[in-house]
Amino acid sequence: MSWPFTFPARSFGQRGVGRLVALCLLAVLMALGAFFWLQPEKSKLDPTWEVVRRTEIVQVVPTQLHQPALISSAVVAPTTRTGWSSSEVEALALAWKFCEEENYPQARQIFSQLWQNHPDDHEVKKGFGITLLWLGVRALENRAYFSAEDDLLRSLDLYPGAGTSGQVLLRLYLKMGRVQEAQPRAIDLMASFPDNPSLHFLGAKVAFLSGDFEGAVLRITRALELRPDWKEAQRWKEELERELQVWNNGQRFSSAHFVCVASADDLGMVQLSKYVSEVLEASARALVADLNLRLTEPVLVLLMRKEDFRAHAPDWSAGIFDGRIRLAVEEEANADAFEATVRHEVTHAVLHRLGYRLPTWMDEGLAQYMEGKSVARARDRLVEAAFRGELPTGKALQGEWSSWEDRHKVSAAYDFALSMTCWVEENYGRSALIGLVRELRHESLENLSLRLLGRDFADVQSNHRQWLEEGMP
């Protein structure tokens, strides 16, 4: 196979200038060669290798969706390599330079070709694996989940390192709601990298979402043994132990798609479990009928008194989905309002468990859509907000709304989400809305909008906003 990357002198159309440029380049290359040849520091592994600058991925923030930090470190690379052409050696140095400059697409192109020519070379596999890790992190940040998965899986295969690619991959699966796939992957990664506390932390999250409370406690305990000062892990261990106690001492009521757990000491809550279970199943059936979405595995539902529920949710909420559904249940509660809350949270649970990673506005818009909330009243409030110049912006609608405490901001965001969701159905049809939801597992919203709606999604949003600002003519 001919090597595609060459480094010719650029021609400026005049032979004399071209020769001058060529001579200058030759002088530079000779100077660089002399510089590397005369470097005194040698590798202990191989005296023919010289010290150059390269990059290493290390994990520095194990408590978040960690973007690994890049640091420069002096490591070894060969001046000559058996079976390599001189252009390939130059390309390897260039690929590492691109990587250190965070130009990962260019680094990927070169490492990919080098790997095809030298598939067993450790340095190539390491550089290619690190590059793919970074590309996977960037894809994950941009919600290109399937592209991220491809890059991270390949990175893990090429260069597992200390398990960093595996950490990001597990977080990807958790974000996508793919708990069943995450479970065996977490077990394998914890076995392969037993001294990596972040993998045990993530393994605990996977076990928690799978309903394995004992396994979750064991894993978070191991993470703290490896990193005793980890505050987030300490807090979460305490919460896990409380939930394990509730699980062990709780009264369970199982149905086709849900497992309700209530305190066995609370007779009133136990008596309400059957009713709650019926409401949950009715909500699941409605999702099948309206959006063709169905659960494939049971969802855990924690029934809580209002005072206990407040420890997990903002004051304005009566239910929350955080991997399991938590519901505030009281005998004197309004049945219609409670059932609407259940439909809302079941929608979140189904979308998450099926791996539909939607923009927050669509996730919340669909949940309100299934809840049966009045879009007319929401739009009346939005028109008034538009008159005051207070319509929510796209940037303001990003993030996790459950952490917001400003009721006015929350109300406007939810109204906008419902209106936007209904706008898509009203103008492009329910099949287009369902198509957007289902296909977002495989394709970006921008591409889907062009394919299903026939226009850029920014235009769809702009038209909706303009319609509200003009008073819904």
335, 381: one domain: no
| pLDDT block averages, 10 residues each, the chain of length 473 | 41 44 46 38 29 32 36 43 89 93 94 94 94 93 83 94 92 80 93 95 90 89 96 90 80 90 84 92 94 86 85 76 86 90 93 76 92 94 89 69 71 92 94 88 83 92 91 82
State the burial class of residue 180 (Cβ atoms within 10 Å of its Cβ: 0-12, 13-18, 19+).
Answer: middle
- When computed from its CA atoms, the radius of gyration of the chain, rounded to whole angstroms, is 28
Say which residues have a Cβ less than 8 Å from residue 108's Cβ, sequence separation at least 6. 128, 131, 132, 135
Q: Has residue 206 been placed in a domain?
A: no
pLDDT of residue 381: 93
H or E stretch including 21?
Answer: helix 15-37
Per the structure, the complete domain to which residue 324 belongs is given by: 255-353
> What digits encode the pLDDT tens for the residues 143-187?
777 789 999 999 999 999 889 999 999 998 887 777 778 999 999
418, 390: one domain: yes
pTM: 0.64
How many other CB atoms are there within 10 angstroms of residue 296's CB atom? 9
348, 406: one domain: no
What whole-number distance in Å separates Cα of residue 326 and Cα of residue 241?
A: 17
Q: Has residue 394 been placed in a domain?
A: yes
Q: Has residue 330 been placed in a domain?
A: yes
Q: Has residue 239 been placed in a domain?
A: no
How many other CB atoms are there within 10 angstroms of residue 266's CB atom? 16
Q: Are 265 and 255 in contact (CB under 8 A)?
A: no
> What digits encode the pLDDT tens for the residues 281-329?
999 999 999 988 888 888 889 898 888 887 767 777 788 887 789 898 8
Q: Has residue 463 been placed in a domain?
A: yes
Bridging pattern class, strands 299-304 and 258-263: parallel
Say which residues have a Cβ less than 8 Å from residue 142's Cβ, sequence separation at least 6. none
Structural domain total, the chain: 2
335, 405: one domain: no
What are the structure tokens assigned to 146, written together?
């399937």
365, 464: one domain: yes
Going along 210-309, which residue ranges are E strands? Answer: 250-254, 258-263, 299-304
Q: Which of residues 334, 353, 372 is at a domain's end? A: 353
Q: Has residue 66 been placed in a domain?
A: no
Going along 286-329, which residue ranges are E strands? Answer: 299-304, 319-321, 325-328
Q: 435 — alpha (psi -120 to 50), left (phi > 0) or beta?
A: alpha
Q: 193 — alpha (psi -120 to 50), left (phi > 0) or beta?
A: beta
What whole-number distance in Å separates Cα of residue 61 and Cα of residue 168?
A: 12
384, 451: one domain: yes
pLDDT of residue 62: 35
pLDDT of residue 403: 62
381, 339: one domain: no
**Angle 197-209/213-226 helices, nearest 10 degrees?**
170
Q: Has residue 199 been placed in a domain?
A: no
Nearest to 177 by CA among 209, 139, 149: 209
pLDDT of residue 398: 65
346, 261: one domain: yes
Q: Which of residues 337, 353, 369 is at a domain's end? A: 353
389, 338: one domain: no
DSSP secondary structure of 85-146:
-HHHHHHHHHHHHHHHTT-HHHHHHHHHHHHHH-TT-HHHHHHHHHHHHHHHHHHHHTT-HH
417, 465: one domain: yes
Q: Which of residues 353, 384, 415 is at a domain's end? A: 353
440, 373: one domain: yes
How many other CB atoms are there within 10 angstroms of residue 359's CB atom? 17
**Residues linked to residue 78 through DSSP beta bridges, in sequence order:** 49
What whole-number distance in Å separates Cα of residue 347 and Cα of residue 350?
A: 5
367, 402: one domain: yes
Q: Has residue 432 been placed in a domain?
A: yes
